């Protein structure tokens, strides 16, 4: 599974250019948050917390993070977003 994740291409798109494209398709922004903000809000969720443990992101029982500072820095680059067709 690890190699499958490493082989997926990723693209960096300037947010404002992306937002402009969404207007051409009548999409309205509903939600946008940085990944680390979502992590801090959801890490102790009864469903999502154990998932992070199974993924090896943190120790069992809601323990410490098992990722490096470099990995956290990389994760901070991501944002979650939702658009709705209007």
- pTM across the whole model: 0.72
| pLDDT class of 1 with cuts at 50, 70, 90 | very low
Stretch (H or E) spanning 65: none
**Is pLDDT of 52 > 70?**
yes
Q: Which residue would you say has higher pLDDT here, 67 or 26?
A: 26
Of 1, 5, 21, which Cα lies nearest the Cα of 13?
21
Contacting residues for 59 by C-beta, under 8 A, at least 6 apart: 53, 66
Quick check: 5 pLDDT over 80? no
Confidence of residue 34 (pLDDT cuts 50, 70, 90): very high
């Amino acid at each position: 599974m690890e190699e499958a994740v490493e082989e997926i291409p990723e693209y960096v798109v300037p947010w404002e250019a992306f937002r402009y494209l969404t207007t051409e398709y009548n999409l309205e922004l509903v939600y946008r948050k940085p990944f680390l903000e979502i992590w801090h809000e959801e890490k102790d969720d009864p469903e999502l917390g154990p998932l992070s443990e199974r993924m090896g992101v943190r120790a069992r029982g809601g323990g410490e993070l098992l990722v490096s500072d470099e990995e956290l820095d990389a994760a901070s680059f991501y944002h979650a977003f939702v658009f709705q067709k209007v």
